[in-house]
Amino acid sequence: MKPTEQQAISRRKFLIGSAAVAAGVLLADKGWVDAQPFFTPEGVDVEGLERAGYLVRHTICHQCGAGCGLTALVKKDAPPSEENMLIFGNQHPEHPQRGMCGRGATAPYTWNSPLRLRKPLKRVGERGEGSFEEVSWDQALDEIAAKVREIVERDGAKAMAFSTHDYKAEMQLLAWPLGSPNVISQASTCNTAGVVGRRWMMGSGFDHHATIDPDYDNIRYVLFPGRSLNAPIGAVHRLAKAREHGAKVVFLNPAHPDVAFANSDWIPCVPGTDAAFMLGVAHVLVSEEKYDESFVLNQTNLPFLLKADGKPLTQEDLVADGDANVFALMSVDGEIVFHDAAGIQPELTYAGTVTLADGSDAAVTTAWNRLVTHLADYTPGNAAQITGVPAATITRVARDLFIMRGVVEDTWYNTRNGNDTDVIMGLMTVNALLGNLDQVGGLGVRLGSKLPGMIGRASDGTVSLITGDSFLMEHTKTIDKEIYPETNATFDAVFQGILDEQPYPITGLMLVGATIFHRDPNVARAIEAIKKLDLLVTVDIVHQEICDWSDYVLPAEMFLERDHIKGIGWTQGISVALQRKVTDPPAGVDARPDAWIMLEILRRAYPQRAAMVGHYDWMSDVATWKNEWMHPIEELRIEGLANAWNRDPAEVRRELEENGFITFQPKQYGLTPYNRPFASPSGRLEVYAFRPVLRGYREHGFATYFDPPAYTMPRAEDEFFLVNGKSPIGGSGVAGLAFPTQYLVDNRLWLNPADAERLGIAMDDEVEVEGLDTGWKAKVNVNVTPRVIAGTAFVYSYSGGHRQKVVADDPRFAKLSKGLAPHWFSKSWVDPITGSNSNNASVRIRRA
């Protein structure tokens, strides 16, 4: 919706767009009669509302990790309560990531949930028992600090590990001054396979899952392999508009994603076979000559010459003192040319012999020739055998992609079967053939926002805060990188450190917003590790299952209670958003900011080290700390951002406050890689990934299909793949525990009607599920539905199998303990190179 004429003419500030859900509650139930006149069909008059005692606060949703735009209306000078605030999606028509989905809608439920953590808790019973006493913040922080000190002095700082989903910088404020590099996120249970695949093909800086995304506004055809698009909801909103203009949306997935209800095609496939599907599509594109030849020649490394051993032919091979990082191609004139030269006209199909610098001859062939040979194994017929998708469908998808100039989306959560990096490589191979990168309706590459971070570390180990404080860290390599050379974060390494004391012992663990039992595969092993720890501290918003196993549980502020500035991901242009505090915590909730908690533990353990990051004893009062520590840092970040874009910081802040976001630069098409090379060794989209070949990780650089190594393959009649996915209602750690989730998200096990009939299972029957690898047994009710492919069972993640005592004890939340947590059954297979973990499993299913 564009601003109306009245809005355009009026000098009053309007909240553009419809007034949203919020308006409803305020009009009648809140008795906010005086606010009524400011809600009109034209929009919401912000200044009028402020005069009447209401504040409009834009913020960033954090009910999942996607960060969509929300807006809240809050009553000024009133006690915090659901009655005094209203939350709805930011309605600004230009907002690049408008909220809100069914998870966002649970934010008020989470805020004052009976499961909300209210006071610091200290364990009094056995680990896992869920018995706690409430203690003061001072007692909790002092005791934790003393224990941290004991661990650091006895086992070394590296023995302290830290994990979080979204609060890495906050945890680094404690870990790094302590001297522990081990802040390790959830990535390997979510996105590592994709990150590594993208890095291998496009290089660092192009590897993040929020960096490359379909240009939804203009999309014509998009295929989502394995992604359910349950988030960000702003992308769904845009896709809905594209569908209006005829865009075709196709999901490749063993289970039918909720978003596919919206007039999309769903192609069911056997779990773990997406790479074969992609290579089948690539086969059709190549054999039917349906590819963008100019893109293939000029923007990919397919014309590059390869030696018989699979390594690229380099300048070093060809000339004395040549550069090993400069690669050779054959020009159409029959001359060897180097990739860094201008105006190359390469030959795509050259094969022959070249003379090397040492005088010997070497057989070389282009990567294209090798690709054609490689793809010979992936005829649609062969791919159909593997994937369970008819050959005609594979052929049709390939043709549609080409004819409609479509794209294959590059996935987000993809660590499932152990062969997932090849899925990303396969789908990027298809995208390379389509040549539809950074074009209108193509796969767009987003540039960085230039928003400075709070804390950073240089390659020499120098840690710097944006305030200018800095110090040197001796040991910077995280424990997972000692084991998995290509990982972005593999938390399994921490379990190895605890259980096997390899490569060194881990004895203390701190978690912020890390729902271990619903995040990390192999719960039995996680429990074994947790039991061995000397210290486990969990900082969270609601009482997760992991809390029951923790020595101390500390209540953290939720997003409605904090100020923060953040870049917006999964967009085309460059945008930044402001998370503004909407309310204080509800009465009785003594929640504190994550960063303050970390700094206070540090200060109480080592005051001098806290001083290195500018935190002192007089900041133990939260309000003082916010004014003296946090606020100046956020201001410096805004200042850095404004300076980077040649804008006035005050103006940037005002605009952020007024609209909730700023788009600094709209999408500029045709930039990457055409005028801005990728960071891969060749600067091109490397369909033949050089990095894993040059580092000796792989024999060749192409995507390949191999059977999933992550679990025993199901073979018998009653054996199934077990896969999971997220719902746009309860699909996150916090939203999974919201009251409505237990009613609106199905926590039964999905079975295909053909399987159910064979096993004599009817709708809602109870079955026993047993992990083929973990032996874990659990009972669950069945939903017999064609929404899952035969031979596979499906559960929504986060929405079932919550075993914490508070849930069991509160009849209102009884349903949350029903259902399964998929991680009971997955064995935690980790790829030795990429460090990517795998959440899928195989199970035996029997009538209970």
- Where along the sequence are the contacts to ligand SF4 (CB under 6 A)? 61, 63-64, 66-68, 99-101, 103-104, 231-233
Give CA–CA dist 273/650, Å, rounded. 52
Which of 236, 287, 234 has the alpha carbon at shortest distance from 258?
236
Cα distances (angstroms) measured from residue 674 to each of 258, 346, 440? 36, 16, 14
Which of 715, 722, 743, 725 has the alpha carbon at shortest distance from 816?
743
Residue type for position 491:
F
Least distance to ligand SF4 from the beta carbon of 565, Å?
16
**Torsion angle of C-alpha atoms 671, 674, 675, 678, degrees rounded to 10:** 90
Binding region for another protein (CB under 8 A) out of 108-116, 289-297, 437-445, 755-763? 108-116
Q: Does 94 bind another protein (CB under 8 A)?
A: no
Least distance to ligand SF4 from the beta carbon of 65, Å?
7
Structural element, H or E, at residue 255: none
Q: Does 802 bind another protein (CB under 8 A)?
A: no
Among 140, 144, 236, 433, binds another protein (CB under 8 A): 236
Q: Which does 328 bind (CB under 5 to 8 A by kind): another protein, ligand SF4, none?
A: none
Q: How many residues interact with another protein (rule CB under 8 A)?
A: 54
Residue 261: Cβ within 10 Å count: 10
3-class state of residue 814 by DSSP: helix
CB contact set of 505 (below 8 Å; sequence gap of 6+): 155, 159, 497, 498
Give CA–CA dist 421/832, Å, rounded. 12
Tokens of 1: 């919706």
Shorter beta-carbon distance to ligand SF4: residue 279 or 738: 738
Shorter beta-carbon distance to ligand SF4: residue 581 or 805: 581
Binding region for another protein (CB under 8 A) out of 34-42, 364-372, 408-416, 563-571? 34-42
Q: Which does 613 bind (CB under 5 to 8 A by kind): ligand SF4, another protein, none?
A: none
Which of 130, 134, 131, 132 has the alpha carbon at shortest distance from 120?
134
Least distance to another protein from the beta carbon of 215, Å?
19
Q: What is the crossing angle of helices 380-387 and 274-287, to 10°? A: 170
Q: Does 18 bind another protein (CB under 8 A)?
A: yes
Q: Which does 214 bind (CB under 5 to 8 A by kind): another protein, ligand SF4, none?
A: none
Least distance to another protein from the beta carbon of 36, Å?
7
Per the listing, tokens 């960063």 go with 595
Structural element, H or E, at residue 45: strand 43-45
Structural element, H or E, at residue 124: none
Least distance to another protein from the beta carbon of 244, Å?
8
Shorter beta-carbon distance to another protein: residue 572 or 727: 727
Among 96, 104, 312, 673, binds another protein (CB under 8 A): 104
Shorter beta-carbon distance to ligand SF4: residue 104 or 303: 104
Shorter beta-carbon distance to ligand SF4: residue 364 or 737: 737
Give CA–CA dist 301/297, Å, rounded. 8
Q: Which does 23 bind (CB under 5 to 8 A by kind): ligand SF4, another protein, none?
A: another protein
Q: Is the Cβ–Cβ distance between 250 and 427 less than 8 Å?
A: no
Binding residues for another protein restricted to 728-747, rule: CB under 8 A: 728-729, 739-740, 743-744
**Torsion angle of C-alpha atoms 495, 500, 505, 510, degrees rounded to 10:** 20
Shorter beta-carbon distance to ligand SF4: residue 66 or 565: 66
Among 4, 7, 10, 40, binds another protein (CB under 8 A): 40
Q: Which does 39 bind (CB under 5 to 8 A by kind): ligand SF4, another protein, none?
A: another protein
Least distance to another protein from the beta carbon of 637, Å?
29
Q: Is the Cβ–Cβ distance between 476 and 180 less than 8 Å?
A: no
Give CA–CA dist 171/160, Å, rounded. 12
Q: Does 222 bind another protein (CB under 8 A)?
A: no
3-class state of residue 435 by DSSP: coil
Among 29, 289, 309, 474, binds another protein (CB under 8 A): 29
Cα distances (angstroms) measured from residue 743 to each of 111, 755, 797? 19, 26, 15
Shorter beta-carbon distance to another protein: residue 93 or 832: 93
Q: Does 311 bind another protein (CB under 8 A)?
A: no
Q: Does 312 bind another protein (CB under 8 A)?
A: no
Binding region for another protein (CB under 8 A) out of 262-270, 321-329, 361-369, 379-387? 262-270
Least distance to another protein from the beta carbon of 411, Å?
18
Q: Does 785 bind another protein (CB under 8 A)?
A: yes
CB contact set of 242 (below 8 Å; sequence gap of 6+): 216, 217, 218, 219
Shorter beta-carbon distance to ligand SF4: residue 187 or 302: 187
Binding region for another protein (CB under 8 A) out of 238-246, 333-341, 396-404, 480-488? 238-246
Helices (H), 606-679: 607-612, 622-625, 631-644, 649-659
Least distance to another protein from the beta carbon of 783, Å?
8
Which residues, listed in sequence order, are joined to residue 247 by a DSSP beta bridge? none
Least distance to another protein from the beta carbon of 757, Å?
15
**Torsion angle of C-alpha atoms 377, 378, 381, 382, degrees rounded to 10:** 60
Shorter beta-carbon distance to ligand SF4: residue 21 or 763: 21
Among 233, 445, 516, 703, binds another protein (CB under 8 A): 233
Cα distances (angstroms) measured from residue 771 to each of 243, 503, 656, 730, 824? 41, 29, 50, 24, 8
Q: Which does 645 bind (CB under 5 to 8 A by kind): another protein, ligand SF4, none?
A: none
Shorter beta-carbon distance to ligand SF4: residue 233 or 788: 233
CB contact set of 127 (below 8 Å; sequence gap of 6+): 530, 531, 536, 548, 549, 551
Least distance to ligand SF4 from the beta carbon of 104, Å?
3
Give CA–CA dist 194/836, Å, rounded. 9
Q: Does 12 bind another protein (CB under 8 A)?
A: no
Q: Which does 67 bind (CB under 5 to 8 A by kind): ligand SF4, another protein, none?
A: ligand SF4
Structural element, H or E, at residue 465: strand 462-465
First vs last C-alpha separation in the chain: 54
Structural element, H or E, at residue 793: strand 792-796
Q: Is the Cβ–Cβ distance between 503 and 475 less than 8 Å?
A: no
Q: Does 404 bind another protein (CB under 8 A)?
A: no
Q: Which does 263 bind (CB under 5 to 8 A by kind): another protein, ligand SF4, none?
A: another protein
Q: Which does 61 bind (CB under 5 to 8 A by kind): another protein, ligand SF4, none?
A: ligand SF4
CB contact set of 785 (below 8 Å; sequence gap of 6+): 750, 751, 752, 753
Rg of the chain taking only CA atoms, in angstroms: 27
Q: Which does 29 bind (CB under 5 to 8 A by kind): another protein, ligand SF4, none?
A: another protein
Structural element, H or E, at residue 586: none
Q: Does 99 bind another protein (CB under 8 A)?
A: yes
Among 51, 76, 154, 241, binds another protein (CB under 8 A): 241
Least distance to ligand SF4 from the beta carbon of 238, Å?
13
Site string for another protein, 628-667 (x = CB under 8 A): ----------------------------------------
Q: Does 27 bind another protein (CB under 8 A)?
A: yes
Tokens of 617: 């004893």
Q: Is 706 exposed, middle or buried (0-12, 13-18, 19+ CB in 10 A)?
A: exposed
Site residues (CB under 8 A) for another protein?
A: 18-21, 23-25, 27-29, 36, 39-41, 82-83, 88-89, 98-102, 104-106, 108-109, 114, 233-234, 236-237, 240-241, 243, 256, 258-263, 266, 728-729, 739-740, 743-744, 785-787, 812
